Structure 1
Amino acid sequence: MILGIGSDLIDIRRIEKTIERFGDRFIQRVFTPLEQKKADSRAERIATYAKRFAAKEACSKALGTGFRNGTFWRDMGVVNLPSGRPTLELTGGAKTHLDKLVPAGHMARIDVTITDEYPMAQALVVITAVPKA
């Protein structure tokens, strides 16, 4: 059963300007250490940050919270499963909100798709409840 859907579209140049202006302060505030490591190892560093930014925005919409009520940027981190499929790992307030959405006897599955075609980056997040095994 679908619990939430969120999408976001962002101009990569906006993230580039924000990083130029605020630098590490912005990166530390928004991105998890794992996201920073992945982005900083890529040739398209800014696009990688932009896609993850869009994924966080989409996730906050899928949760129905936005960035309020104890949900913060770093509470949502884009991670890759061993298969390479991206998903979001939630902690803190985002995890608390997610846990409230999931019915008893179920667990959450977060599907994420992220893409970019300069100058735009896009993310779509679908949160579903699947029965526990």
Structure 2
Amino acid sequence: MIIGLGSDLCSIERIQASLDRFGARFEDRVFTAVELAKARRRPFTYAATLAKRFAAKEAFSKAVGTGFKQGVFMRDIGVVNAPSGAPTLALTGGAKARLDALIPHGMAGRVHLTMTDDHPWAQAFVVIEAIPDDNR
């Protein structure tokens, strides 16, 4: 069962401007250590790598219906890779609490994420699915 759907389109140049203007303050406020490490391994596409992750955070906040309110913060939403290599989200704090509140009893939440970029744009889509929880 689909619980939420969100999408976002982000300007890579806007992310680059924020990096140029605010540097580490911007990075530390928005991105997780895992996301920053991934971006640093891609020096020629650093801003694009972060722009895709910024779009993923925005898409998730739309999928849960709060935006960045009600305890949902950007740093609580981290893009990681599943063992298959597919991108997904690691949630903590208010983002995890909001997702947990949306999932019906006896079900587990699954977050699907896809991201892409083509300069000057980065885009992400998030689908939140509730599936039977076999661990209950």
Asked whether 1:46 is paired with 2:47, we answer: yes
CA distance in structure 2 between the partners assigned to 1:77 and 1:10 by the alignment: 17
Asked whether 1:77 is paired with 2:78, we answer: yes
Per the alignment, residue 24 of structure 1 pairs with: 24
Q: Structure 2 matches for 1:1-133, cutoff 5 A?
A: 1-42=1-42, 43-133=44-134
CA distance in structure 2 between the partners assigned to 1:86 and 1:114 by the alignment: 8
Give the TM-score of the pair, scaled to structure 1. 0.98
CA distance in structure 2 between the partners assigned to 1:64 and 1:72 by the alignment: 13
Give the TM-score of the pair, scaled to structure 2. 0.96
2:3 counterpart letter in structure 1: L
2:68 counterpart letter in structure 1: F
1:27 is displaced (CA, Å) by: 0.2
SS in 2 for 1:44: helix
CA distance in structure 2 between the partners assigned to 1:16 and 1:89 by the alignment: 24
CA distance in structure 2 between the partners assigned to 1:47 and 1:70 by the alignment: 27
Per-residue CA deviations over 1:14-65 (Å, capped at 9, x if unaligned) read 0000100000000000000000000111131110000000000000000111
CA distance in structure 2 between the partners assigned to 1:84 and 1:12 by the alignment: 23
1:69 is displaced (CA, Å) by: 1.0
Please give the root-mean-square deviation of Cα atoms over the aligned residues, in Å: 0.6
1:132 is displaced (CA, Å) by: 1.1
CA distance in structure 1 between the partners assigned to 2:66 and 2:79 by the alignment: 18
Structure 2 alignment gaps of length 5 or more: none
The number of aligned residues is 133
